[in-house]
Amino acid sequence: MLRSYGSCRAGLVAVGNRGLTHLRKSGRVDWGLFLLVVAAAQGFYGFVPLTEGQSSLLLPGGILAILVLRVPVSAINALLANPLILFMAVWIFGAALFSVNPGSSLYMATLFILMVIYLIQRRSTIEQTVRTFALATTASLVPSVVAIVQPLGVPVRYGGSAVGYAGYFPFNSWSSACAAAVVLSIATLRLVGDSRVWHFPAVASGLLILVMAKSATAVVTLVGAMSVLVGIAAWQRTSARSKPLVIVGVGIGLLPTVLAFGNFELLPTLAEATGRDDKLSNRTDIWQAALEGIYDSPIFGYGSGFWNSSRFWGSAQNGFLEIAINGGVPAALTLVTVVIVAGFRLTAASSSLLGFWMFGFVFNLSISQIAIPTVPSLALWIAIASTVGVAAEPTARASSAIASNDRRLGRSPGVIE
């Protein structure tokens, strides 16, 4: 029996090693993006001798700097690829430079610009991108899953929660966001025809964390993103003759939502459905305070120092309002334009990345992380970057540098599909 067990174990190890070697050499996973997503997911911060704030800024920042500076010509070309994104980056950096707290504001602005540049300059297929996202978020859930069955001290007990962020429960919105991303990315992979043995336990773990975390934000985000994926799948399988009926059906389905917005009935209904109060866990008060701050300094904002005063809250709890506070209304309006344009392009192309776009967009309506690398913000910017990358025409010098980098990394040249 022992001999049989040993042979079986050796066989499984051999299969696993061959599978990892195949992933590593075949280019099926973008390992730079993998490291960035793992760092942004915050699942392993309990093992890092840094504070929560330091970890969430320094680790992704270091990874992004290395990834971008590998091919500096490509990075410059990526920034120039879209005038709106170039304007937004320059405006936010300038606003940070002249803010009341230029030190941290400049770092935050630089981190944001590096994230956008890297994701635009990536040259990967949708399948590779989503596969990498699925693998990275699954790996990032490991501390949270281990903490369920065996609390092994602070690092694991608070796994996936930025070292016990909020201090009251080990599975908060960050571990739940990561769990929702696991479910979404694996569902998206299934849509493009990829299915693996590890997908089932990964999805099961993600759903378990979602139940334990009781995060309304993550659940609503996942429902919205999955609804988009279902719509894409139905659209792709509908004949040309029936497509107008699908459009009419979707329009009729959206009518109650539009009426609810018009009568201001949606927020109370949403709050009741997700187990929150009418103020959505005080978010309506926070948004009001943010709007007052934007009114006080609408053009250049405050940099990153607005919430450092005597205010009770630490962020606007809305990524778009936070951009307006940090970089002014022009930056926020540009960002909204970029997001909407990308959404229209993804919809017109019936791209499976529309689910990523919805995931990041909805999440950042209630969490202020759109300008720094987190799982939801990376999902949104990956979707946006895919629409920018298709239209970008690299210069001859940039093309040469990109091709050289592709050969060095052993991957085939291409653009985001």
Q: What is the mean pLDDT of each run of 10 residues along the chain (417 residues)?
A: 47 40 59 93 76 78 91 81 89 87 84 93 88 94 76 50 40 79 94 84 91 83 91 79 72 64 57 61 82 87 75 81 92 95 92 95 89 93 85 42 51 42
pLDDT at 222: 94
- The C-alpha atoms of residue 205 and residue 43 are separated, in whole angstroms, by 14
pLDDT at 23: 45
CA dihedral 146, 148, 153, 158 (to 10 degrees): 90
Q: Residue 117 in contact with residue 68, Cβ under 8 Å?
A: yes
- The C-alpha atoms of residue 354 and residue 225 are separated, in whole angstroms, by 8
pLDDT at 164: 38
Give me 232's structure tokens: 């894409």
- Separation of CA 356 from chain center: 8
Q: Which amino acid is at 204?
A: A
3-state DSSP call for residue 413?
coil
pLDDT at 10: 47
Burial 3-14 (b: 16+ CB within 10 A, else e): eeeeeeeeeeee
Instruction: State if pTM tops 0.85.
Output: no
pLDDT at 259: 59
Alpha helices in 281-328, H assignment, sequence order: 283-296, 319-327
pLDDT at 143: 80
- The C-alpha atoms of residue 140 and residue 124 are separated, in whole angstroms, by 22
3-state DSSP call for residue 239?
coil
Burial of 255 (0-12, 13-18, 19+ CB in 10 A): exposed
- The C-alpha atoms of residue 147 and residue 190 are separated, in whole angstroms, by 29
pLDDT at 169: 41
